[in-house]
Structure formats: C-alpha cells, structure tokens
Structure 1
Amino acid sequence: MSDKIGIRAATAADAEAVDTIIRAAFAGTDFGHQGEAELVRMIGEDGDALVSLVAERDAAIVGHVLFSRMAVEADGARLAAAGLAPVSVAPAQQGQGIGDALIRAGLAALCEQGVAISFVLGHESYYPRFGYSPDLAARFASPFAGPHFMAMMLDSDAAWPLGGRADYAPAFGRMG
C-alpha cells in the first residue's frame, strides 16, 4: 500500500464510494444520526455544492470533503460564503492527515472562487488549526450559534465583519 494521497474534484462516478466513506466515518459516532451522506446528496441535487473533493490512495477513495453555498449577510452586505460539512475519512485511514489535507485543499479552492468567509459546525479543538474562530462566528446570528460554530475569513488580511446573519444551504434545514 502506498502512502501517497491524491486529492481531486469529486465526480458523479464517485457518488457511491463517497456515500460509503461518509457512512463508515460517522458510524458509531455522536454525529452518526445526523445523516451526513443524505445531506451531501441533497446539497448536490440542490446545486449548492461549491467544492467537493475526494482523497485517493492506491486508486481507492479514502476521504471526502464538501463545502456548500451559504447565505451570509455581513455589515449590511451579502458576502460570498461557504459551509464546511462534512469531512469524512475511512476509519482505517484516520489519523494520517487526510482530513487535514482535504480541508486545506478545499479552502484553497474556495479562495480561487472568490469566497470571502467559511463557517463550520465542529469540534472546537480541531478546526482552529485551519483558522476557524468561534469569536468570529459569534458575530453572526445563526440557528447553529454556540461554541461549536466557527468561522474564518479566507483572506487572512480582511477585516472581521462587525455582525450579520449566516444561513446554511436549504438542505441543512431539511435534515430531521
């Protein structure tokens, strides 16, 4: 088995493998009941996926990350925004930097698209390493507000907005 990981844009042909990875990654976790695989499918069907990447090792998909379009208003103006959810790595491949590589590649792709801000609802000790901050997210009204809600400006030199509203893609509201 090779240690080399390749990251590329996900294609329609990857859908089944991505679904399998997501279900395996979240099985038996506190998050497993939230239906991440279904969420990814709905976001794709709605046309709200901005960046969808897979990680491959030895021609097998071992990870996936999705960033979806968000409706964000900051200081009275619309801001191009993306939500990170979910990031999934096959259980046997976890702890090897694959999730980290997927997130960093996804953030770079968002920058190329001119996205200004990204949000994540996740573990407060994991996501700050990428630049996500609960303090920035706290400036935005959101149904997901709380200590696990974080945001980052994709241009690290950009001023933080004073306040606004952040809403995830409609598929998040359809999750029961």
Structure 2
Amino acid sequence: MFSTKSGIFVVSLLSLALAGCGSSRFSPAPAAPPPLTPAPSGTVSNTPLPPPSSPTAPNAFPEAPSQTTDVAALEPGAPAAGPALMPSSVAGVWNVNVAGQNCRVATPQTKFGQGYRAGPLRCPAPLDGVKSWNVQGSQLTLYNENGDVVARLSSTGSGSFSGQTSMGQPISLSR
C-alpha cells in the first residue's frame, strides 16, 4: 500500500515535526529584570524670578551700523539678482526659443549629472545635447552629458527665463 517514496516522506515529516518541538523558540520568556531604585533628587525652591533687565527705552531699536565699506557694483548689462529658485519651480515641460527656433525641454526632478535630468524634445543644436539642469540663486544652467555648460538663463520673474547658449545664441524658456 505504501510505496518507498511515501514511507520516506512520512518519516521525514515526523522527524521535522519532532525537531521543531525541541527548539528553544517555544520556551517561556525570560523573567523581567528587577525594577530600578529611584535616584535621590534635590530640593525644589519656591522663590520668584528676578525681573528681566530692560533697555533704556522700552521700544527703542539699536542704532544702525555705519556704512563705511564699499559695495561692488554689478557689471553693466548684467542681470539683476532675483529671488532664489527652487528646483520644484523649474520642474516641468518648457517651450524653448533658441535663436528663433522653437522646441520643448522636459525638466523632471530626477537626480542626474550636474543636478537633475533634462530631456530636449526636437531641439536644434546645441540644445539637443542637454542632459541635465540645475539652479543656483536665480540662475538656471543647462548641461550636456560631459557636464559642460550648454546655456545659462536668468529668471525674468514672470515664470520664464532668458539668457544665452555657450555659443552666444539667445535663448528663452516659457510655460
């Protein structure tokens, strides 16, 4: 009635079950450690705090420092520094105009190369080689696969960018 294979199977199953019963996993949990004795603490005093020190005039502001150092001026024609950009404000798909030709560039927030991955969509050279982008301050920089700068653009403050390519061509991005 039983074959040799069935007999071996039943014996193996019984030996496995008996081996599990001998495991220490099913033994009762060890006893909890004894509780710690509380440490003595100092005494608590109940005295009021002294009043805070007040300035000579309650609403007076400190005097402004004098301006004795020279401040460097921007180069003529340099773009004014705008508010710092966040990568989330640049992420998306942009309409690009480079030297009068139109295309699109996708700028997802996927870490890559010099900052984040970029994908030009039917763009002319040199924009067809853009592989990554990054922001620094109010400036957007586009890079090729070697990490070389392809274009630098500044925020115009209206959700668009303008600048030039490394070859000197005018470039603008808008939504």
* Structure-2-length-normalised TM-score: 0.27
**Relative to total residues, which structure has the larger helix share, 1 or 2?**
1
Of structures 1 and 2, the one scoring higher in RCO (CA 8 A, sep 6+) is: 1
* Structure-1-length-normalised TM-score: 0.27
Larger Rg: 2
